[in-house]
Amino acid sequence: MAGKVYLVGAGPGDPDLITVKGLRCLQQADVILYDRLVNPELLEHARQGAQLVYCGKLPHYHTMKQETINHFLVKYAKKGLNVVRLKGGDPFVFGRGGEEAEECAKHDVPFEIVPGITAGIAASAYAGIPVTHRTLSKSFAFITGHQAGDVEAEHQWAHLAKAVDTICVYMGVSHLPGITKKLIQHDKSPDTPIALVHWGTLSDQKTVIGTLETIEARVRQANIANPSMIVIGEVVLLHHKLNWFDEEIVPHLPVVHG
């Protein structure tokens, strides 16, 4: 009898932000395949005897290839086991959850998606930056920083620069110079506010604030690396008023509307 695969979003880092349903899946799982950015405290909820399989990935180095992860999901479920694929954030937001669900469907393995809080919303909120605001932002977009330098994605920058109020960039720190350059080239004001939220929702969270023109130098000065969320738009100006969690490490920006 086939088991079942649960693609579970662990949330952005703070273990308290996992959903009740996600936690229940963890407690009932026979096998848990977990990612690098999953808070290890969550694994303490695994039942005794559950098998824990690390699938962590670093830039340019994958402990386990995606094809291998897909294979294991199917393999364990075919043995009649309940399998949790525990992923940072949300499985369907730059988490390859769609690929894993496709693999299950291909092999007639039952599966279920358990959404999680994605970092684009959570890290921003913990930095006091709402991605939408009635007067400052009526639209937002989630993009991957990996598209910087992607010829096929080149045309998207013009749309992002002009048609979206708030842009949240995942995995973009190493591409930050290219991201700011492309937005300015497509008529986004160099004075547009931008924030980088490092280790969002965790106790050592840091937020760096600047403009498209100044942020690269400020990030270097603060020695900010991945994992960090990049948030671009006028809502970043609210950080100074709504910041409730971390200590900002750069001076206030002047209010700029453009």
> Is the sign of the CA dihedral 45, 47, 48, 52 positive or negative?
negative
Same domain, 101 and 192: no
> Domain containing 83 — which CATH number?
3.40.1010.10
| Domain-embedded: residue 26 | yes
Same domain, 60 and 171: no
Query: What is the predicted pLDDT for the residue at 246?
Result: 77
Closest Cα to residue 220, out of 196, 238, 199? Answer: 196
- Contact status, residue 256 vs residue 191, Cβ threshold 8 Å: yes
| Domain-embedded: residue 250 | no
Alpha helices in the chain (DSSP H): 20-28, 66-78, 97-106, 119-126, 156-163, 176-185, 215-222, 239-242
β-bridge partners, 224: none
> Domain containing 133 — which CATH number?
3.30.950.10
Same domain, 144 and 79: no
| Domain-embedded: residue 257 | no
From the candidates 14, 30, 35, 246, give the one annotated as an active-site residue.
35
DSSP symbols for 199-241: TTTSTT-EEEEEETTTHHHHHHHHT--SSEEEEESGGGGGHHH
Query: What is the predicted pLDDT for the residue at 232?
Result: 98
- Residue 204 is a catalytic residue: no
pLDDT digits (tens, 9 = 90+) for 113-171: 999 999 999 999 999 999 999 999 999 999 998 765 566 667 788 889 999 999 999 99
| Domain-embedded: residue 170 | yes
Same domain, 132 and 30: no
Number of domains, the chain: 2
What is the pLDDT averaged over residues 210-218? 97
- Mean pLDDT (the chain) is 91
- Residue 57 is a catalytic residue: yes
| Domain-embedded: residue 253 | no
Q: What are phi and psi of 82, to 5 degrees?
A: -85, 120
Last residue of a domain, one of 114, 142, 174: 114
Place of tokens 């971390």: 246
- Residue 138 is a catalytic residue: no
Query: What is the predicted pLDDT for the residue at 61?
Result: 56
From the candidates 4, 21, 57, 75, give the one annotated as an active-site residue.
57
The C-alpha angle with vertex 213 and arms to 208 and 215, in degrees rounded to 5, equals 15
Same domain, 125 and 236: yes
What is the pLDDT averaged over residues 54-65? 73
Boundaries of domain holding 44: 4-114
Query: Residue 225: which residues within 8 A CB-CB, separation 6 or more?
Result: 173, 198
- Contact status, residue 226 vs residue 184, Cβ threshold 8 Å: no
Q: Please tell me the distance from the alpha carbon of residue 52 to that of residue 98, in angstroms, as a whole number.
A: 22
Same domain, 100 and 132: no
Q: Please tell me the distance from the alpha carbon of residue 132 to that of residue 130, in angstroms, as a whole number.
A: 5
What is the pLDDT averaged over residues 218-238? 95
Q: Please tell me the distance from the alpha carbon of residue 12 to that of residue 202, in angstroms, as a whole number.
A: 9
Query: What is the predicted pLDDT for the residue at 111?
Result: 98
Same domain, 20 and 55: yes
- Contact status, residue 47 vs residue 153, Cβ threshold 8 Å: no
Query: What is the predicted pLDDT for the residue at 254?
Result: 45
| Domain-embedded: residue 188 | yes
Same domain, 32 and 83: yes
Last residue of a domain, one of 114, 129, 160: 114
pTM above 0.85, yes or no: yes
Q: Please tell me the distance from the alpha carbon of residue 34 to that of residue 146, in angstroms, as a whole number.
A: 22
Query: Residue 78: which residues within 8 A CB-CB, separation 6 or more?
Result: 2, 3, 107, 109
Same domain, 38 and 91: yes
From the candidates 30, 87, 90, 171, give the one annotated as an active-site residue.
171
How would you classify residue 94: left for phi > 0, otherwise alpha for psi between -120 and 50, otherwise beta?
left
| Domain-embedded: residue 100 | yes
